[in-house]
Structure 1
Amino acid sequence: MIIQRHDQDIDTPTGTMRCTVYRPQAEGKFPCVFFYSEIFQQTAPIARSAAIMAGHGFVVIVPEVFHELNPIGTVLGYDDAGKDKGNADKFTKTLEAHDSDTIAMIEYFEQKTYCTGQFGSMGVCLGGHLAYRAALNPRIQAAFCLYATDIHSNTIPCQEGNDSFMRTKDIQGEIALVWGKQDPHVPTEGRQKIYQQLIDTNRNFTWQEVNGQHAFMRDEGDRYDPALALECYAKAVALFQRTLHKA
């Protein structure tokens, strides 16, 4: 599908958050997918990923995940300075603030004439965690989480007992998780810990481990794996087409 793109600033309890909206040009209503970025916010690879998903018949919304900590429109570079700033932001913003961002997006976009009121979440790296975290909200009907960091280690600040690992039992929708076995950020023992928690809490989930490095979806840099990326896009589209088009 041919798509269109525009920016939309919305109010949240922690300040104005810019969201970039990718959606079909065709008339009608479409399900919404919140696409959570890496620590670098909306880089060119994130924008291209969002466009790919939108072209399959979704309203894809990319929020600035650290809007409280940066001027509107900030994009960090894939370099040491960008990595240091992004990691500092990650360890500053609380999970509760991310939760209120998700609620603000649901409340805003469910009123738009192009949205069906059905919501999913998707993300890579930090965004994979935030997609998982968003699924704690009962309005999120499905989540597709790629190499989600910091779930197993509980290193993003939050109130005691409110970390994403412990809250896994609150996920109501279907969740898909994809991991790179060569990813040092989520080692084998970390993946096993999350898998066991999903089993113990009897969640509806699918699980895949691939021979890929961290950020294998990012179409810039030496770790990009186009074949794996194509496979993951297809699986994400299939998940959302099946779960977000229910009457």
Structure 2
Amino acid sequence: MQIIQHTEDLSTATGTMRCYVYRPATEGQYATIVFYSEIFQHTAPIARSAAMMACHGFVVIVPEVFHELNAIGTVLGYDDEGKDKGNNDKWQKPLTSYDSDLTSIVEYCQSADFCTGAVGAMGVCLGGHLAYRAALNPAVSAAYCLYATDIHSDTLPASPEEQSLASMAEIQGEVFFVWGKQDPHVPAEGRLKIYQQCMETGLNYHWQEVNAVHAFMRDEGERYDGALALQMYQQAVQFFQRTLVTGR
């Protein structure tokens, strides 16, 4: 399926947020996936991932996750300078600001004539965390979370009751977790903590651990595992087609 791409600048509670929209070129209405990036924002690998999903018949929206802290269009490099800046931004932005960002995206999806109104979320690294957190919003019925960081550690800015792990019982939709067994950012004890919370809250979830390091989806650099990435894309497409399109 061929796609088109454009930008939308949405008003949020904390300022203007640029979003990159990828959607089928064919007229019609399609379910939406909010695709959350790593700390580096809308990089070339993230753009390719968004396009990959959109080509399967979805509207994919990539928000600039740190829009309050950077000029519109800021993309951080996959180097020490970019990593330091992105991590600093991550420690500055309150978790609840991502919630209000999502509210603006959902409102956009509900009004755009090319969207059905069905919304899911997907993300990698920090974005995996934000995809999980997006499921706290009752408008988001499915979340596909790849090596989601900082859920187990409760280290992002929020009060104890606002932390993402503590809020799991609020999720009404379906969540798919994918973890790399060799990922030092989410070690075995961290994954176990999240798994136990899934069991205790009765979350509707899927759990998958693969032999991979952190950022194995990123198609730049030595961490990339193309075979696993292809498997994850196919799995995510099937997941969202079921949860957002067919409803089965």
Residue 146 of structure 1 corresponds to: 146
- Whole-angstrom CA distance in 2 between matches of 1:164 and 1:151: 6
Mapping 1:83-232, distance limit 5 Å: 83-232=83-232
Q: Which runs of 4+ in 1 moved over 6 A?
A: none
- Equivalent residue number for residue 61 of structure 2: 61
Q: Where does structure 1 lack aligned partners over 5 or more consecutive residues?
A: none
Q: Which secondary structure does the structure 2 equivalent of 1:67 belong to?
A: coil
**Contact 2:160 2:166 (C-alpha < 8 Å) held by counterparts:** no
| Partner Cα separation in structure 1 for residue 48 and residue 246 of structure 2 | 27
Please give the per-residue CA displacement for 1:101-133, whole angstroms capped at 9, x wherever unaligned: 001100122100000000000000000000000
Look up the SS of the partner of 2:237 in the other structure: helix
Deviations 1:27-78 (A, max 9, x none): 1000000000000000000000000000000000000000000000000000
| CA-CA distance at 1:187 after TM superposition | 0.2
Normalised to the residue count of structure 2, the TM-score between the two structures is: 0.99
Distance of 1:122 and 1:99 partners within structure 2: 15
Give the 3-state SS of the residue equivalent to 2:190 in structure 1: helix
Q: Give how far 1:246 is off.
A: 4.1
Residues in 2 aligned to 1:155 and 1:237: alpha-carbon distance in whole angstroms:
31
Partner of 2:161, secondary structure, is coil
Instruction: Classify the secondary structure of the residue corresponding to 2:154.
Output: coil
What is the RMSD computed on CA atoms of the aligned residues? 0.7
- Percent identity (aligned): 65
Letter in 2 for 1:155: T
Q: For residues 1-39 of structure 1, what are the alpha-carbon distances to aligned partners after superposition, in whole Å with 9 as ceiling and x for unaligned?
A: 000000100000000000000000001000000000000
Unaligned runs of 5+ in 2: none
After superposition, the C-alpha distances for 1:160-206 in whole angstroms (9 at most, x for unaligned) are: 31100000111111110000000000000000000110010001110
Counterpart of 2:4 in structure 1 is 4
Query: What secondary structure does 2:162 align onto?
Result: coil
